[in-house]
Each structure stands twice: as C-alpha cells, then as structure tokens.
C-alpha cells in the first residue's frame, strides 16, 4: 500500500482528534458540493473518544448537523437500548448532544428478525442513495468509519462467514459461529462504494493483525479487512503508535 494511505499518531486521544478533523472537513466539503453529508459510523470502543469529541461544543459547532445523515456499518441483533447496541453508543455519546434531525438518523433495527432487519436497512439505503442518482446507484457514503477487530474483521464481516461472498446486496444478515450470534452488516460492495473510508485502529493488541492485513499475503477469508478497497474513493488507515509495533 502507498505510504500516504497510512497515518500514524501518538495515541488514542490524538487519533480521536485527527479523525474529528477529517469528519469536519469532509462534512463541509460534501455539504458545499451536494447540500448533504452522509456518514457511516462504526461500533466498538475505538470510536467512543471520537464521538465525544465531535459532541463537544467546540467541535459540534463546526458541522451543519441539519444537513448530516447518519448510518451504521453494522449492528448487533439487539434492541436500541441494549448496552451492546452500536446505535446506543452513538446516541449516548454523540447524537443526543448535537442538533441532528431525528429523521436523519438511519439506524439498523436490530430488534427485528435478522433477515427483516437487513431487508429494511437495505431498503432505506437504496431510497437514500438512489434518489437523483444514476441508473446503477451505489451507497456512496461521503465518509465511512471502520474499525478492525483483533481477528481482522471489519463491520460485521467476520472471518469465514457467508457475508464475505455477497456481491449484490448492500446490507445482509450474517451469522457468526464464534460468537453464536447474528449481526447485520454492510456488504463488501457497499463498503467499497464509499467516497472516503477511514479505518480507526488503536492499541497494541491489534499490532499483529494490522501487520498481517497491510503487509501479509492476501487472505480475506482470514482477514476480512483486506476486502476494503474502495473502487473510486480514498482509503485511509488512521492508527496509533501502539498498533504499529509490528509494522
């Protein structure tokens, strides 16, 4: 990969500040160009500091939230008030603290049966991204935030799972045997349609996996994060120093 696709920062707090800067800049550019900004949020612990920073008065005032539309890269099959819900994390740390119109929050209905939740989410994505677009629309997020697990998964594309092979749908239900649970996730084609995709990776526990994903042989069945290769967009790995000790 090219050097400019990897940006290394000192620590998790610096990572959150850098990521917030990208969100603000890309939101401003998208709103100026098209009148709206679409962002896909990730779950997990790493984005928590980013969400809190964006919710602070100094940062929140730099975004025109009335023109922002928020989506999610994946969701656990739980109700929206469950402690494991990615939506709940974003709502408590960010969305309830900024003037985002409620109808601009496009959550995944994890409380529904997995197949129905995926169907409804895909329908919402297609309604949003198809209006005024080409005859072959794509879910072209202005910015898609991604995480990477210790096992190399991203969104809810886990190693060895069926969703890795989906080529037509934008969202799909995915059973994860290791966790004995269902997830709803954006598919590889949907992720790779993003204009900007940013991986946020923090901590020494992910150092070996990061090395394998970036510099090891291509093994997407083992390291699904390797499948993220936007066709007409920019991919950035924003990582803290602790995660780069094996590079």
What are the sequence ranges of the domains in the chain?
Answer: 3-244
Cβ(93)–Cβ(48) below 8 Å: yes
The CATH number for 3-244, chosen from 3.40.50.300, 3.40.50.1360, 3.20.20.140, 3.60.40.10, is: 3.40.50.1360
- Length of the chain as a residue count: 247
Partners of 157 in the β-ladder = 154
User: Which stretches of 71-172 are DSSP H helices?
Assistant: 86-93, 114-130
The dihedral sign for the CA sequence 49, 81, 152, 115:
negative
The dihedral sign for the CA sequence 13, 193, 186, 118:
positive
Which whole-number Å values give the CA distances from 244 to 57, 128, 137, 157, 206, in the listed order?
Answer: 32, 37, 37, 23, 8
Tens-digit pLDDT profile for the chain (247 aa)? Answer: 444 599 999 999 999 999 999 999 999 999 999 999 999 999 988 999 999 999 999 999 999 999 999 999 999 999 999 999 999 999 999 999 999 999 999 999 999 999 999 999 999 999 999 965 556 689 999 999 999 999 999 999 999 999 999 999 999 999 999 999 999 999 999 999 999 999 999 999 999 999 999 999 999 999 999 999 998 999 999 999 999 999 9
Q: Phi, psi (5° rounding) for residue 40?
A: -105, 125
**pTM, entire model:** 0.96
């Amino acid at each position: 990969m090219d050097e400019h696709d990897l940006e290394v920062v000192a620590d998790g707090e610096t990572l959150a500040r850098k990521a917030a800067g990208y969100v603000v800049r890309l939101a401003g550019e998208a709103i100026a160009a098209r009148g709206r900004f679409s962002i896909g949020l990730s779950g997990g612990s790493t984005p928590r500091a980013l969400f809190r920073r964006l919710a602070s008065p100094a940062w929140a005032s730099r975004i025109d939230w009335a023109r922002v539309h928020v989506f999610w890269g994946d969701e656990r099959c739980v109700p929206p008030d469950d402690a494991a819900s990615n939506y709940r994390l974003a709502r408590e740390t960010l969305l309830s603290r900024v003037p985002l119109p409620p109808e601009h929050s496009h959550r995944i209905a994890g409380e529904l049966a997995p197949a129905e939740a995926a169907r409804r989410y895909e329908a919402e994505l297609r309604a949003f991204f198809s209006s005024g677009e080409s005859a072959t629309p794509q879910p072209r997020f202005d910015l898609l935030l991604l995480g990477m697990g210790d096992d190399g998964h991203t969104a809810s594309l886990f190693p060895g799972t069926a969703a890795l092979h989906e080529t037509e749908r934008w969202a799909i239900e995915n059973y994860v045997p290791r966790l004995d649970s269902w997830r709803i996730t954006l598919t590889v084609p949907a992720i790779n349609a993003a204009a900007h995709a940013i991986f946020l990776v923090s901590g020494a526990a992910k150092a070996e996996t990061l090395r394998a994903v970036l510099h090891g042989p291509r093994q997407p069945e083992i390291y699904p994060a390797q499948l993220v290769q936007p066709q007409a967009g920019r991919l950035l790995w924003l990582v803290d120093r602790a995660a780069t000790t094996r590079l």
